[in-house]
Copies of this chain bind each other. A is one copy, B any other.
Amino acid sequence: MKCRICRQGAVIEVRRHNAAFCRSHFVEHIHRQVERTIHDHGMFSPTDRLLLGVSGGKDSLALWAILTTLGYAVDGVYLHLGIGDYSSESLELTQRFAEGRGLTLRVVDLPEEQGFGVPEAARAGRRSPCSACGLSKRYLLNKAADDLGYDVLVMGHNLDDEAATLFANVLGWQTEYLARQRPVLPATEGGLARKVKPLIRVAERETAAYAILQGIDYEVEECPMAGGNTINRYKKWLDTLEEESPGLKTRFLTGFFERGQASFATMAPPELRSCEVCGQPTTGEVCAFCHLRRVTLEIVAR
C-alpha cells in the first residue's frame, strides 16, 4: 500500500477515495477536506469569533488542532456534565491539550452552575441519558456563545455522526429534524448563534487516525451512560452498507445537502421567543432546558 501522493509506504487507506496516504500526506488530506468544507459552505471567515465545543474526544480535539493549523483563531468551551470520573478525565485531557498549545478554554460546569448533572437529569426527566445530555449541551453551548459574544459555534460532528443522524431521521421521516440538518445553521434574531460542522467530510476512523498520528491524547472511553444510545445502531447499520459500497455515507449525506434538504427547508422555521425563565430562545413559554432543570431540582431536593 503506497501513498497516493509520494508513493512511499502508506499508513492509512481511505477506501471511499480509493486512496492510501503516508503520515504527512494524510494529515494534509484531512486539512484540505476541512478547508474545502468551510469554504464550500461559507462557514466562517478568519475575522469571525469562533467557539468550538470540545469534549476531550478525538473529533473535537482533532478539529481544534486542524482549525488552528489552518490559521483560524478558535477558543474552546468544555461542558462539565457531571458524569463522574468520565467528566473529570475528559476535562483534564482537554485542559492539557489547550495549555500545551496556548489555546483559550472556557469551562461551563453544569452541576456547579445549575445544581444538577446529566445523571440526575436523566433520572428525573424520564428521558434517556443521551436525550437529556443532548438537550443540555445544545442549550449550554448556545448560551455560552451568546454570553461570551462569539459569532459562530463550531461543532465536531464527523461524517459518521451526520450520516447516522440523517439515516435515523430518514428512516423515521422526522421532517422537522430534516429541515434543520444542515452544515451551517444560520444565526437567528432571537439569540441562537450560527452553528457549523466543518468535520462532515471526515470519517470517524480518520479523526481517530489524525489524532493518533498528531500525538493528540484524547478520551478513548465511550461515555459510560451511552449504552442504549440508538445512534450507534444506525452507525453500525451504515458501516455494513459502507463496507459493501465504499462512499455510500458520503454520497448519502452530500446528496442530501445538495438535493434533498431543500425539499424540507421550505417548511417554515418555528417562531422563537425568549424563555420566561432564562431569556434564551425557545418556541414555547419556558424552554426545554428550564423545564428539565425544574423537574430535576424537584427530584434532587426530595
A→B interface (CB under 8 Å): 170-173, 175, 178, 233, 237, 240-241, 244, 248, 251-252, 255-256, 258-260, 263-264, 266-267
A170 and B172 in contact (CB under 8 A), knowing A237-B241, A263-B264, A266-B266? no
Is A263 touching B175 in the complex (CB atoms < 8 A)?
yes
Give 10 A-B pairs besides A170-B252, A171-B248 with Cβ atoms closer than 8 angstroms: A170-B260, A171-B251, A172-B252, A173-B252, A173-B259, A173-B260, A175-B260, A237-B241, A237-B244, A266-B266
How far is A259 from B248 in the complex, measured between Cα atoms in Å?
25
A164 → chain B, closest Cβ, in Å?
13
Offer 22 A-B interface pairs, CB within 8 angstroms, sorted by A. A170-B170, A170-B252, A170-B260, A171-B248, A171-B251, A171-B252, A171-B255, A172-B252, A172-B255, A173-B252, A173-B256, A173-B259, A175-B260, A175-B263, A233-B244, A237-B240, A237-B244, A240-B240, A263-B263, A263-B264, A263-B266, A263-B267
Q: Nearest chain-B residue to A262 (Cβ)? A: B175
Question: Which chain B residues lie closer than 8 Å to A244 at the CB level?
Answer: 233, 237
Question: Which chain B residues lie closer than 8 Å to A258 at the CB level?
Answer: 173
Query: Which of B175, B259, B263 meets A259, CB within 8 Å?
Result: B175
Q: State the number of copies, please.
A: 2
Query: Which of B251, B263, B267 meets A172, CB within 8 Å?
Result: B251
Q: Which interface residue of A171, A175, A178 has the most chain B CB atoms within 10 A?
A: A171
Question: Which chain B residues lie closer than 8 Å to A267 at the CB level?
Answer: 263
A229 → chain B, closest Cβ, in Å?
15
How far is A240 from B244 in the complex, measured between Cα atoms in Å?
13
Question: Which chain B residues lie closer than 8 Å to A178 at the CB level?
Answer: 263
Question: Which chain B residues lie closer than 8 Å to A255 at the CB level?
Answer: 171-173
Lowest 4 CB-CB distances: which A-B pairs, in order? A173-B255, A173-B260, A263-B263, A173-B259
Question: Which chain B residues lie closer than 8 Å to A263 at the CB level?
Answer: 175, 178, 263-264, 266-267
Question: Which chain B residues lie closer than 8 Å to A251 at the CB level?
Answer: 171-172
Question: Which chain B residues lie closer than 8 Å to A248 at the CB level?
Answer: 171
Question: Which chain B residues lie closer than 8 Å to A252 at the CB level?
Answer: 170-173
How far is A287 from B198 in the complex, measured between Cα atoms in Å?
45
A245 → chain B, closest Cβ, in Å?
8
Question: Which chain B residues lie closer than 8 Å to A237 at the CB level?
Answer: 240-241, 244
How far is A251 from B267 in the complex, measured between Cα atoms in Å?
22
Question: Which chain B residues lie closer than 8 Å to A241 at the CB level?
Answer: 237
How far is A74 from B104 in the complex, measured between Cα atoms in Å?
74
How far is A237 from B172 in the complex, measured between Cα atoms in Å?
17
